[in-house]
Structure 1
Amino acid sequence: MGLPTTIEELNHIKEECEKMVSKRASASALAAAVPILGTDVAADVALMRELLPAINRKFGLSKEQIEELDPEVKRVLLVFITSVGSELVGKLITKQVVIQMLKKISTKIAVKQAVKVVPILGQAASAGISFAAMKYLGKAHINDCYEIAKQYIENEQTKPVH
């Protein structure tokens, strides 16, 4: 699967990715409901290491897919990636990259860990925070990929035909 070529195809990919994010966010919430400190963060890292590359691949924007492109197309994409400011598009998603992303929402994670010590309500709050954090990170990445692919499609449509 390569880069999308139409806005219709792009919208379909976005919908598929949003469903993936919802499933992973639900899994994250389940992991957060387990009253053992630290298990949810480990689960979140594992889920994000799977989810982010899957989103990149769906949009045709994984590191491997970009490397296989024509040099001119690759150059144009890298300009779009830079303009969007994404740290995750076209990159290898390592544990360290995910941990950095999670640090950006570390206040929520700290609260989630703290509320775990309160039985039942704490677990429910922790699960809710985990779901929201995973959903936020996933949707933000989808939006970045969408914007980059959209710019690419629009750029291709305005090219003069030889």
Structure 2
Amino acid sequence: MPSRESAIALAGNDPALLEAIRRARKLLNRRALAGAAAGAVPVPGLDWLVDAALISKLMPAINAEFGLTPEQLDRLPKRKQEEVQKAIGVVGSMLIGKFITREMVVKMAQTIGVRMTAKTAAKYVPLAGQAVSALIGYTAIRYLGESHIRDCVAVCKAAHLKLPAPR
């Protein structure tokens, strides 16, 4: 399990990692804002559906910024693939180098379940509740995304992985 220091601290002075973090956070911010917008809509259950869809697209997009999608890893030499798999095992991420399944999204939702339950309950309080729901949705997605970015940086550092060129 990586330490809880920030992704930037983990990256050190590696310009490629720092740039990948910047790009990944840009993606994260956009998706978290979309989640917040869904959280403000007073339709029960809509926010959960939107959050699940956002997360299932966000995690592979973050993986891609670090060269950690299944397709990118398959293109690595066998020895480098083994190094990356060992690093993933040390970090303990279930989202790096894998196709994101519905079961994985459910596990991620369970990770932030208390926040999501509070988010749903807050919707029933007019206006202020919708704002609180939006804020909780935003922070929940940001939390998951930042944690995943940190894990990706830790894997890249541990495996000495050369990052792909920006898309």
TM beyond 0.5: yes
Between 144-153 and 33-42, the greater mean CA deviation after superposition: 144-153
Residue identity matched to 2:42: P
1:149 and 2:144 matched: no
1:87 paired residue number: 94
1:160 paired residue number: none
1:64 and 2:83 matched: no
1:132 and 2:139 matched: yes
Shift of 1:114: 0.7
Write the mapping of 1:1-162 to structure 2, written as runs, cut at 5 A: 7-153=14-160
Shift of 1:65: 1.2
Shift of 1:104: 1.1
Residue identity matched to 1:52: M
Q: Distance in 2 between matches of 1:34 and 1:53?
A: 26
Q: Distance in 1 between matches of 2:159 and 2:81?
A: 10
Q: Distance in 2 between matches of 1:121 and 1:55?
A: 32
Residue identity matched to 1:39: L
Q: Distance in 2 between matches of 1:117 and 1:96?
A: 28
Shift of 1:7: 1.9
What's the CA shift string for 1:24-62, capped at 9, x where partnerless?
Answer: 111100000000000001000111111100011110001
- Secondary structure at the aligned position of 1:88 is classed as coil
Residue identity matched to 2:133: S
Percent identity over paired residues: 39
TM-score normalised per structure 2: 0.86
Shift of 1:152: 2.2
Q: Which segments of 5 or more consecutive residues in structure 2 lack a partner in the other structure?
A: 1-12, 163-167
**CA RMSD for the aligned pairs?**
1.4
> Contact (CA 8 Å) 1:7, 1:150: kept in 2 or not?
no
Shift of 1:90: 0.4
- Greater than 6 Å deviation, 4+ residue runs: none
- Secondary structure at the aligned position of 1:117 is classed as coil
Larger CA Rg, structure 1 vs 2? 1
Residue identity matched to 1:84: V
Shift of 1:95: 2.2
Equivalences, count: 150
